[in-house]
Structure 1
């Protein structure tokens, strides 16, 4: 699908700073990696000059990339709500933002993709405006406080992916909901699936993989799992709990390989134990024609059209998942693909992001 009409009259010079919990392409950054890639590609296609800064070892095709060395940051979702801010020695997040400060005059606007305290704290020390795309809901008091401060001092600069995500913050009305989008050319529609289910995501406790395994086992269907193992102990524990479940782990795959395998599945299970900001994998599945079964929690519940492109299940209900699995054949896979095309194209996402950047720059100029 072609890009929409450019909302910004003059091309912009844009510096994007990636997540600091893992290299692009590693899977450790979760949905942020795909989101950054798609936004960068779409804005570049619209004539903007885009430069991405990311940890050493990152892979990003067709977009200029600056790799920065340093120690990776601990993922925020592993921290307690009252956890203190901690920055490792030779932190990559500090090195990335030191570089950004040095080159900021070459850019019109910076976009922060890191859910980390430091970029928010540094915002007032930059001469160039910073648009922050927040990738998670409320997790720690320290993060809530610093994001709130930026929202107050720099109105309109806080972007989120869904209203459910925004509503986890006390400053929900100060957040700009941007959704996400996909390069639909990369996703092939599959009309006739195999008798198996899919689960895709970082393998960590907040993703609730154990519920998907339990439901697939009760439904007597194999479960194909893809994603980076972020918590090895958690992965080993749930495999021991369900030793007889037919589970196949396919590792973390790039988009082309993932969509080819995901598209052949009968349905995708999403079982988050927390409020997902969005759920890129949901729209990836829909783009392949795969219905989505998800808990009625967070961003995925805003994506799935109940009874049309999947089923919404009460949170943490294994029985509800099993009942929905039995009704997967009621979903028209063509309708799933149509929803992706109508709501989650690169063009639609690009329009939303451009409008946001226009408003961020308007606030500075005005």
Structure 2
């Protein structure tokens, strides 16, 4: 069974001072649960996969003991595969969204993960599954858990989250202040903002720059690529496109007919090729047609020293800050004018914002505070305990 909370927190406190850990934070034994739509491995299908990969490796690098529960084919520290194939390979969302078959497949996988967690020896669980029932299981079994919300509220998840608001054993995190307001109009103590972090060593500025704009991401209607293409045509500016084609019909009808010499589709790049393409661009264009919970593309661009031209949806204004131009949502004329703007923020300004706000180190520190809050609440320790002292240390990382 999962270690008794008092013993687990005391054991964690005994591990304070591990030489491999920054800031004197103790080692935490963490069970990480991923969503299983795609494998958590490069080339990443989207922001959630990239985030989880960085989270697992960041926690491992910080000296924590990490066990990753994810789909087979994932590239993660101490992987425990909870299904042989990701959902999308067996029950693609386009055909099976909301189906009993997809629900049963997910339920089987996450039950397997939970059985392993409940019989293991973990200090805390970090739930990134987007599967609402996992919250019920943590409450039922008395397990300290952090649940990270990577998408706007949907009915089943909203109900589960609202059921634990105020219960500090169950910490809830969102990726932006904008998202926090969608989950609760109040300020419950267990609802926190932890911005996504990116690997600043991979997303670096480049001395090789050209005049082409870049749009990259999943090619699907809610990412708004068709509007970016229209704006580039109006502005008479060259635009490169990188990404996996998630909606083939959308690509064939809305994208392919408009590919010209100035507007090019470069395929699905990853790793150094993608990093180089971003860092070489004049600006990155972000055109979400939904309330983007964070906007990882924007943060990666800033880390690469590249400004962002974006629709004002979701958290993009919060992420971009002064390092680009934000225009009204779906306003292609305004976006075209932004594309023509000759004086955009320079590389050093963009890079500095990423370093200050969106590093993996800062993200890990934010999650460490949440793990400790959940563990402390679960154990019910007093203010004089050694575990409480360790917890206070984490608060200095804010």
Stretches (4+) displaced over 6 A: 74-79
Q: Which residue of 1 aligns with 2:390?
A: none
- For residues 106 and 98 of structure 1, the distance between their equivalents in structure 2, rounded to whole angstroms, comes to 16
Gaps of 5+ in 1: none
Displacement after TM superposition at 1:92 (Å): 4.3
Q: Which residue of 2 aligns with 1:199?
A: 215
Q: Which residue of 2 aligns with 1:322?
A: 336
- Distance of aligned partners of 1:87 and 1:277 in 2 relative to their CA distance in 1, 3 Å threshold: farther
TM-score normalised per structure 2: 0.81
Displacement after TM superposition at 1:100 (Å): 2.9
Task: Map 1:10-49 to 2 at 5 A.
Answer: 10-25=26-41, 30-49=46-65
Match of 1:119 among 115, 134, 137: 134
Displacement after TM superposition at 1:254 (Å): 2.9
Q: Which residue of 1 aligns with 2:275?
A: 259
Match of 2:243 among 227, 245, 266: 227
Displacement after TM superposition at 1:111 (Å): 0.8
TM-score normalised per structure 1: 0.87
- For residues 22 and 325 of structure 1, the distance between their equivalents in structure 2, rounded to whole angstroms, comes to 34
- For residues 91 and 183 of structure 1, the distance between their equivalents in structure 2, rounded to whole angstroms, comes to 32
- For residues 168 and 85 of structure 1, the distance between their equivalents in structure 2, rounded to whole angstroms, comes to 27
Displacement after TM superposition at 1:44 (Å): 1.5
The answer to whether residue 336 in structure 2 is matched with residue 305 in structure 1 is: no
Match of 2:82 among 44, 58, 68: 68
Give the conservation status (yes or no) of the 8 Å contact 1:196–1:266: yes
The answer to whether residue 159 in structure 2 is matched with residue 136 in structure 1 is: no
- For residues 56 and 162 of structure 1, the distance between their equivalents in structure 2, rounded to whole angstroms, comes to 30
The answer to whether residue 70 in structure 2 is matched with residue 54 in structure 1 is: yes
1:211-263 CA distances to partner (integer Å, 9 max, x unpaired)?
11111222222322222222222222212563557433333333332111111
- For residues 131 and 92 of structure 2, the distance between their equivalents in structure 1, rounded to whole angstroms, comes to 7
- Distance of aligned partners of 1:259 and 1:240 in 2 relative to their CA distance in 1, 3 Å threshold: closer
Q: Which residue of 1 aligns with 2:112?
A: 98
Gaps of 5+ in 2: 1-19, 381-398
Q: Which residue of 2 aligns with 1:237?
A: 253
- For residues 243 and 114 of structure 2, the distance between their equivalents in structure 1, rounded to whole angstroms, comes to 30
- Distance of aligned partners of 1:144 and 1:73 in 2 relative to their CA distance in 1, 3 Å threshold: farther
**What's the Cα RMSD here?**
2.8
Aligned residue pairs total 355
- For residues 173 and 279 of structure 1, the distance between their equivalents in structure 2, rounded to whole angstroms, comes to 23
Choose 108-117 or 217-226, whichever is displaced more: 217-226
The answer to whether residue 306 in structure 2 is matched with residue 278 in structure 1 is: no
The answer to whether residue 357 in structure 2 is matched with residue 343 in structure 1 is: yes
Give the conservation status (yes or no) of the 8 Å contact 2:34–2:68: yes
